Structures are given as C-alpha cells and as structure tokens.
Amino acid sequence: MATSTENVFSSEGIPEKERFECWRELIGRSRDSEVTSDHSADFRAEMRRLELGPVTLLRTSFPPTRFHRTARRVQRSDQETFHLTLLLGGGFALSRGTEPTVILEPGKLHMLDSSHSFDLRSYGSRAEAPSERRVEAVGIDFPISLLPLPPHRLQEVLGRGFSSREGTSALLTDFIVGLDRQAAALGPVETPRLGGIVIDLVSAWIARELDAEATVPDDSRQRALVENVRAFIGRNLHDPELTPAVIAATHHISVSYLHRLFTRRSDGETVAAFIRRHRLERAHRDLADPALRALPVQTVAVRCGLPRASEFSRAFKAAYGLSPREHRRRTLGGPAHGRPAYG
C-alpha cells in the first residue's frame, strides 16, 4: 500500500520552550525568512506539509507572527521559489520595498518570491481574545522556473491581493483546499501528477490576471480547462439538465472539442460517463451517511441529479451489485427509507 507524503506537526506534546523553534525550522524549509512572534514563549501551532513532486503544499495555524525576508537574506540564499498563499482566517499586512502596504483579509490570495525582500505581519481575528487570536492559511511553494510565463510579467502579480471567489482563482482555490482535505489519503504515486495540475492552474490564473493567456503553452491550457470542467461538473451534479452541450457552452468551446479533449485526458472516459459515475458515487456515499438517514432514497437520488427512479435503481445495482435500499440497509442497519421503486 502506498504511504502518504504528508507530514504533520503539532505543538501539543512539545515542551513550551521548543515549540516556536520547531515550527520556525519547519516553515523555513521552503519559506526562508526571519520569523518572530510575541507568542514565542508558548507557541501553539499546527502545520501540514504535503509534497507534490516539486510543489509543496502547506496548511498551517499559528498565533500572530512576523515573516521578514531581508535583502541580506536574499543575497545570502535565494531558493528561487514562488510562495502562493490563501488566507483562511486572521489577516496579513504585506510590505514590499517602497510599495504601499497591502492589507489582506480571509479569502484573499497573494504571491511572493524568494528573490525579493518582503515584510509580512500576520494578526488574528479582532473578535477573539488576544491570547486566542489565530492565523489560518494554506499555500503552495514551487520553483519559479515551473511557470511558463515571461519572468518580467510575473512581477506584476507579486505582492497584490486577489479575490479567491471568482473565475480561475476560485478553481485554483478549490483545488488547493481539496488537496489539503485529502492529504492523508494521497500516496507518492499520484502526488507528482497533482503537483503538475496545481502549476497548470496557477499558470492559467496568472495568465488571466495579466491578460496573457496566449503565452501559456497549449498543453497547460488544456489541462487547466479539463480541471475546470471537472470542477464545474462537481458543483452541478444535482442538475438533471447537466449535459455535455451545457458544459461546452459554459466554457465557450464546441461539444466535439470538449469530448475529444476530456476523453484524451481522462483515460478514455467520456464526459457523460464521468457525470454518471460521480452521481452514483455521491448517491452511494449519501445513502451511507447517518446524518441523511431520514431522507427518502428518492430524495437522495434527486439531489444527485438522478430523478428517474427505475433508471437510478438499475444503474446503482449495475455499479455496486445491490439496490440503493439494500446498500442503505447494510451500511446503516434498521429499516430502509424510500419508495419501493428503488428496490
């Protein structure tokens, strides 16, 4: 069985005097800066590191802290790395040279590089007691050389705050957050491929921000488009009218191009087959969820975009070897809910 590439740190169980140094050493492996905190005497922090080939994913929770990468530090050691961060809780005040300070709130993306100095001060939510204020963030670190965009154009996005709730940035954010949630289940065989997808999505996002889509190689654009389509399908599985034609129109491409591109990058699986499989997987999961026990089987099916009772029952049994009702009975026990049409 493949082992996870995930590394988890928690300050619990570490002597108080050693907590800050342990956390600082870990984050300094890919984000080298002078790290200080007023809470260093009893630094309560958590961190998850996930290696995705040349990409490192970091998920961390910590008290207010300052990260200062000085010009001297840049001269002494430059890892030539980009740092992309999504702030989930708390806030950042970011200063770069003579540029105005940028205030970053939850939901904001920002990117820095190791080749320039910066001063990043974090603070916790004002609604919390000073001793309980936390900063929550997830980010990725990767070599500058991986982005297929002109270096001089990339400087235009550094040190700025971007919304993570719309367009390509929302897709990138969802993917990174999803990787963090699934970190423990990922093995070394699949993680390098996922790192490549992250780079494609970052490239597509930056190219859109710079109005420079033409500079991104066709292969990267195509991979990003397929991931966008998969994410769109995941958000709209409940809609029984979700079809390849609707998906193609939403993404401003032809149906034939959608079929050709998606099948080539999905090991031969068609768009329709992908939709059907994920609907059945969601129904299979929801029927085994104790929190949804009171929902009739038919309601679960409708929520998954499968409103026709007989078709749902046949497809479910073909996929899993038993009816929806039998699956619920075996996983949850007791009487099954639902209409007889579902077997």
Q: What is the pLDDT of residues 171-189, one digit of tens each?
A: 889 889 988 888 877 777 7
Q: What is the pLDDT of residues 285-294, one digit of tens each?
A: 999 999 999 9
Rounded Cα–Cα distance for residues 81 and 83 (Å): 7
Model confidence at 59: pLDDT above 70: yes
Q: How many CB atoms neighbour CB 97 within 10 A?
A: 10
Angle between helices 255-264 and 218-235 (to 10 degrees): 100
- pLDDT given for residue 130 in this prediction: 63
Query: In terms of C-beta distances under 8 Å and separation of at least 24 residues, what long-range contacts does 224-227 make, across chains too?
Result: 224/168, 224/171, 224/200, 225/251, 225/253, 225/261, 226/261, 226/262, 226/265, 226/266, 227/171, 227/175, 227/197, 227/200, 227/201
- pLDDT given for residue 127 in this prediction: 58
Residue 246, classified by CB atoms within 10 Å of its CB into exposed (0-12), middle (13-18) or buried (19+), is middle
Model confidence at 340: pLDDT above 70: no
| pTM (predicted TM-score) | 0.72
In this structure, which amino acid lies at residue 103? I
Instruction: Say which residue, 223 or 291, is predicted with more confidence.
Output: 291
- pLDDT given for residue 251 in this prediction: 83
- pLDDT given for residue 126 in this prediction: 67
- pLDDT given for residue 252 in this prediction: 81
Rounded Cα–Cα distance for residues 55 and 126 (Å): 33
- pLDDT given for residue 2 in this prediction: 39
Residue 293, classified by CB atoms within 10 Å of its CB into exposed (0-12), middle (13-18) or buried (19+), is middle
- pLDDT given for residue 1 in this prediction: 35
Token couple for 81: 């790395």
The stretch 95-104 carries a mean pLDDT of 92
Give the number of residues written for the chain. 343
| Domains assigned to the chain | 6-212 (2.60.120.10), 244-342 (1.10.10.60)
The stretch 24-41 carries a mean pLDDT of 92
Q: What is the DSSP string of 172-227?
A: HHHHHHHHHHTGGG--TTTHHHHHHHHHHHHHHHHHHHTT-GGGS-HHHHHHHHHH
Chain mean pLDDT for the chain = 88
The stretch 32-50 carries a mean pLDDT of 93
Range with the lowest mean pLDDT among 14-23, 218-227, 307-316?
218-227
Model confidence at 339: pLDDT above 60: no
Q: What is the pLDDT of residues 194-204, one digit of tens each?
A: 888 899 899 98
- pLDDT given for residue 55 in this prediction: 93
Q: What is the DSSP string of 11-61?
A: STTS-HHHHHHHHHHHHTTTS-SEEE-TTGGG---EEEEEEETTEEEEEEE
Rounded Cα–Cα distance for residues 223 and 2 (Å): 25
Q: What is the pLDDT of residues 115-154, one digit of tens each?
A: 999 999 998 876 566 667 899 999 999 999 998 888 888 8
